[in-house]
Structure 1
Amino acid sequence: MKITFLLALLLPLGLAHAQSQPAQSVLAQGPTQARLSIQTGAPVLALAYSPDGKRIATGGQEREVVIWNAQSGERMMTLKGHTDDVVTVQFSPNGRFLASGGVDNALILWDAITGDIIRKTTDHTDYVRDVAFSPDSRLLATASWDGRSMVWETLSGNKVATIDKHRDNVTSVAFNPSGTEMLTASGDKTIRAWDTRTWDQKYALMGHTDEVWDARYSANGRYVVGGPGTTRPASGRSTANG
């Protein structure tokens, strides 16, 4: 069985065109896109671009991480180390590392250049749903179905924090652009922000009425978006109803 996924690359002309018109007008005309089709042997569950945009990492039900050339679609490396589905992959901001998490409860840190395993961690007791690097690539964090988020020093592997304040699975983890805060989202319907110097909780966002599956900061760090349904300033004051 072959599975095909399409990568939509917005061309410079299309981007300029989109910025000059209302969104509804652009959508009505259809996107200006080049598509790259890549075939895999099983469904893809995770995808990430390298910081320079030249490589794509995928993970899925083949239980491996694959690095692709983002221009040609050529398979560059196949990284084997997981023993079950891979559900999250992420490049470090400096492009040197790649992290992946899976249903095998494992976090694997890879050398993104050679494909070698630097470290495999199985501290979680349920699957690792999300991973995130700090903006300076010095920290690596996880979100796990076991209800915990863990944070390690990327190079040394020393664990610097274990966050277990959620009352349900932890579904998402993200650092703000300055690296001073880290978000966790949870099935307990909350998003919580943590001070990355002390790992104390800074605030909690309570606007959701169901499980929160993802939470991210805006590019300027001023807002937090949680899915489904709520957009809030990073101070915690709501700007949209969840």
Structure 2
Amino acid sequence: MLRWLIGGGREPQGLAEKAALQTIGEDQSQNPYTELLVLKAHRDIVRFLVQLDDNRFASAGDDGIIIVWNAQTGEKLLELRGHTQKITAVIAFPSLDSCEVDSQLILTASADRTVGVWDCDTGRQIQRVSCFQSTVKCLTVLQGLDIWLSGGNDLGVWNRKLDLLCKTDHLSDTGISALVEIPRNCVVAAVGKELIIFRLVAPTEGLLEWDIIEVKRLLDHQDNILSLVNINDKSFVTGSHVGELIIWDALDWTVQACERSFWNPSPQPDAQQEIKLCQKQNDISINHFTCDEENIFAAVGRGLYVYNLQLKHVIACQKTAHDSNVLHIDRLPNRQLISCSEDGSVRIWEVREKQQLAAEPVPTGFFNMWGFGRVNKQASQPVKKQQENGTTCSLELIGDLIGHSSSVEMFLYFEDHGLVTCSADHLIILWKNGEQESGFRSIKLFQKLEEDGDLHPAV
């Protein structure tokens, strides 16, 4: 049976301690997800999950099929067919209060160079756009303007009726890998190792048509950008293939902070040999971000890092959180974090405060002058350096969800219905709170007995 190994949550004292990895056994008292429900409908890798409302989600992947599910029961509600190749992007397009038809829409892009618009309530394909010159790799909805954007070798702007409002010229053969909205009707597009700022201009009395203007190109990254997310209304963050984390001002597009030390697993001089071995690009690539008001949570290679926005440095890390690359992370309530990996595992972590150990004082006196002291200055320097650069929190493993047999691509968290994971094994798994589900079953049983008249009052 495959062993699931993780880092121990402490700074290593050398190669010997680094090799001793912590494991988690069967007793997972803090893991509520003790029941699972396996959903089988896809015939190929399931790469995307999108939440539609409090009770429904949609899945899509390499078989070109989109399926709408009930998040509580696991019932398959709709099967949407129309694409001939794999799905490359999925996004929900919420309805507007002013719309006559109050329905939830899904936008799906495919390698067949089409984008489909689907009604989640009926499963009907409302429209299909097939005028793209390249595969659309990302989709973004700007709900305030009631438009959506398609990112491929160019950037297209569309309205709800799927009319093309405007588009850019050919940007790059690599295409746009990510898009986010920033203030002042602007968007940021990740194109290779560049960030391009575009401004959308809505029609006015003097301008009858929409327009999209390239405002600026940001060239601070040294390699391809893999992650791009908003932190808040004032800043966004990007991560690259070589472990560069850059925080940007969303108003003037300047660099607010930068972190490039993910490839350095320990400041200890005796770990230099291991550092060289760990400097593979796959080990330091920033695959995914999630944020809150205080921290950025980064999936870096096989590890997890917590970067504090105020302190501007990493405050917690698990350098070997999984056996393979971490593909997706997100926050849970109560200072918890969840991650999934190419190794097929899903893990739950808790961010905990930890007490910093003070550096041992340097003894003085005659014997210390000749190196005979209990602790000499040279020996204490790494301790001081570790205290200065050490983390102030730890990431502790509290749950290990083992159910998939292949890479777990992403997941969704439903506050009332648990977790949903999708995988390269073609499966979707609903992870349920065992104690909560047991309570639900007891209530249903009681209600059934009461309806059948099998309940008798106690004498």
TM > 0.5 fold call: yes
The match for 2:258 is 240
Inter-partner Cα distance in structure 1 for 2:82 and 2:184 = 29
Which segments of 5 or more consecutive residues in structure 2 lack a partner in the other structure? 1-8, 11-23, 96-102, 202-210, 261-459
Q: 1:145-184 alignment to 2 at 5 Å?
A: 147-155=153-161, 157-164=162-169, 166-168=171-173, 169-176=175-182, 180-184=185-189
Matching residue's letter, 1:127: T
The match for 2:87 is 86
The match for 2:217 is 204
Please say if residues 183 and 216 of structure 1, whose CA atoms lie closer than 8 Å, have aligned partners that are also in contact.
no
The match for 1:193 is 197
Inter-partner Cα distance in structure 1 for 2:217 and 2:181 = 15
Structure-2 change in CA distance of 1:217 and 1:85 (3 Å)? same
Q: Which has the larger radius of gyration?
A: 2
Please say if residues 56 and 69 of structure 1, whose CA atoms lie closer than 8 Å, have aligned partners that are also in contact.
yes
Q: 1:13-52 alignment to 2 at 5 Å?
A: 32-34=31-33, 37-39=38-40, 40-50=42-52, 52=53
Matching residue's letter, 2:221: H
- What SS is found at the alignment partner of 1:78? strand
Query: Are residue 58 (structure 1) and residue 59 (structure 2) matched?
Result: yes
- What SS is found at the alignment partner of 1:210? coil
Higher relative contact order at CA 8 Å, sep ≥6: structure 1 or structure 2? 2
- What SS is found at the alignment partner of 2:212? coil
Q: How far off is 1:225 after superposition?
A: 2.1
Inter-partner Cα distance in structure 2 for 1:204 and 1:30 = 50
Q: How far off is 1:36 after superposition?
A: 5.6
Inter-partner Cα distance in structure 2 for 1:42 and 1:89 = 16
The match for 1:132 is 140
Structure-2 change in CA distance of 1:41 and 1:204 (3 Å)? same
Q: How far off is 1:38 after superposition?
A: 3.1
Query: Are residue 223 (structure 1) and residue 224 (structure 2) matched?
Result: no
Q: How far off is 1:86 after superposition?
A: 0.7
Of Structure 1 and Structure 2, the greater helix share is in: 2
Structure-2 change in CA distance of 1:173 and 1:46 (3 Å)? same
Counting matched residue pairs gives 210
- What SS is found at the alignment partner of 1:199? strand
Q: Provide the alpha-carbon RMSD of the alignment.
A: 2.7
Please say if residues 44 and 59 of structure 1, whose CA atoms lie closer than 8 Å, have aligned partners that are also in contact.
yes
Matching residue's letter, 1:201: E
Of Structure 1 and Structure 2, the greater strand share is in: 1
Which segments of 5 or more consecutive residues in structure 1 lack a partner in the other structure? 1-23
Please say if residues 154 and 172 of structure 2, whose CA atoms lie closer than 8 Å, have aligned partners that are also in contact.
no
- What SS is found at the alignment partner of 1:185? strand
Inter-partner Cα distance in structure 1 for 2:112 and 2:180 = 22
Structure-2 change in CA distance of 1:30 and 1:237 (3 Å)? farther
Q: 1:92-107 alignment to 2 at 5 Å?
A: 92-94=93-95, 96-107=104-115
Inter-partner Cα distance in structure 1 for 2:72 and 2:168 = 39
